[in-house]
Structure 1
Amino acid sequence: MPRTMRFAALICTALLTGAGPADDGTWHTGGYSFSDELGGFRILGVRGAGTRDDPVIVTQELYSASEMVLTIRVPGPRASRTDTGRAGLALYLQLETVNASDFAWVEFGFELQQVLGEPSTYGDGLSFDQAVAEAETLSSSAFKAFSRDFEPYDRVLFRHGKADPRETVIFSMLITDLTPVYQFHLVQDPRIPFS
């Protein structure tokens, strides 16, 4: 078989066996789906179950220094979480984030929103483990410190670091939701130096 035909057969096999996103552009793993449907970045892959020992890992490229939104859905039944000992959703998430922009990031913010464009309030139950039931559920490979902003938002700002263009930064977090919904959003906000 000629080399080009073998390569084409390999590509077809990968496509037919489910490598990559689903037909609707979403990526599925661990009972969750992840989408870059609102633009500004691209998901390159997802894996993991979403547990402490096997977090969901989303590999992504961010193309600008503007806010981008990762849409997260829980399309199926919600299994009880025996690994956390608490009710509701507990998603251990790790973002392998490539700075594909032309700018260095000097801070990086995240905000959870149950309804896109509206702050997450205490009543919706969605947070970056606001109860702080576990120590060290927030971390970054490039930023040494972070601050939390509660009510009427659920925000985290990583600071005291830098991510140059083409550099990969790993962010780890625990997202909890005491009143789980089908869909919520993670707003990602890379920040560049002021001129």
Structure 2
Amino acid sequence: MIFTHSAAQEQKKWTVGPYSFSDEMGGFSIRSVTGTGTTEDPIVITEELNDIVPVTLVIRNASVGQPGFAPKGFGLLFHLQIRAVNGSGRPWQEFFFELQSLLGEPSDYSDGLSFCQPCDVTGMIHSNLFAAYDDDFEPYDRMLFHDGKVDPKANVTMDFPIGDFTPKRIFYLVQEPRIPST
């Protein structure tokens, strides 16, 4: 299933399963969303970033608060692939991600949101252009992809799981391409 967005659409959100994804906070544009969220068929968000500044992907979970939804002891795990097109005109050397359950505040251990740190993520976190990543899972939920380069107009893919173990109605994924330091 493929969901695409045109400038004529009033709402800036794309829905896959119980989740919707939005570029409503600006600074980047989602071009398409595909997939189901499994390991074999990750949710692929194709987006274009036209500057080298942090941007925020808004993620909503429509299941929270619905009849039959059991938030205690229930969690959702989905596999995400960010396919970022470098529209900034400058090469990226790193790409940073941070989960936030409250906008502007890093996720912490107690909120149930993570890059699935209680799981064995061996082989689940990778990129086509960055050779390595570092994680900072305590007390935050942060990842930094590095040891690579994304030229202008090129695209990079970064794959990782997201665990929503105390499901939130809304949470955020901050993304920041980084350039070589001068």
TM-score by length of 1: 0.82
Give the RMSD, CA atoms, in angstroms: 2.0
Partner of residue 14 from structure 2, selected from 9, 22, 27: 27
Question: Aligned-pair distance for 1:181?
Answer: 0.6
1:49 aligns to 2:36 (yes or no): yes
What is the rounded CA distance, in whole Å, between the counterparts of 2:46 and 2:115 in structure 1?
20
Helix, strand or coil for the counterpart of 2:133? strand
Which stretches of structure 1, 4 residues or more, deviate above 2 A after TM superposition? Answer: 18-23, 76-80
**Percent of matched pairs sharing the same residue:** 46
Cα distance in 2, alignment partners of residues 93 and 50 from structure 1: 6
What is residue 15 of structure 1 aligned with on the other side?
none
Give the count of matched residue pairs: 173
Q: Which structure features the higher share of strand residues?
A: 2
Residue 194 of structure 1 and its aligned partner are, at CA, apart by 1.7
Change (3 A) 1:75 1:87: closer
Query: Distance between the aligned counterparts of 1:147 and 1:20, measured in 2?
Result: 32
Deviation sequence 1:121-149 (CA, Å, 0-9, x none): 10001111111334211111110001100
Shift of 1:61: 0.3
Q: What residue in structure 2 maps to residue 61 of structure 1?
A: 48
Q: Which structure dedicates a bigger proportion of its chain to helix?
A: 1
Provide structure 1 residue ranges, at least 5 long, that are not aligned to the other structure: 1-17, 81-85
What corresponds to 1:10 in structure 2? none
Name 1:177's counterpart in structure 2: 164
Q: Distance in 2 between matches of 1:19 and 1:188?
A: 21
Counterpart CA distance in 2 for 1:23 and 1:161 is: 37
CA distance in 1, matches of 2:173, 2:23: 11
The separation in 1 between residues aligned to 2:37 and 2:10, in whole angstroms, is 22
Structure possessing the higher radius of gyration over alpha carbons:
1
Structure 2 segments unaligned to the other structure (5+ residues): none
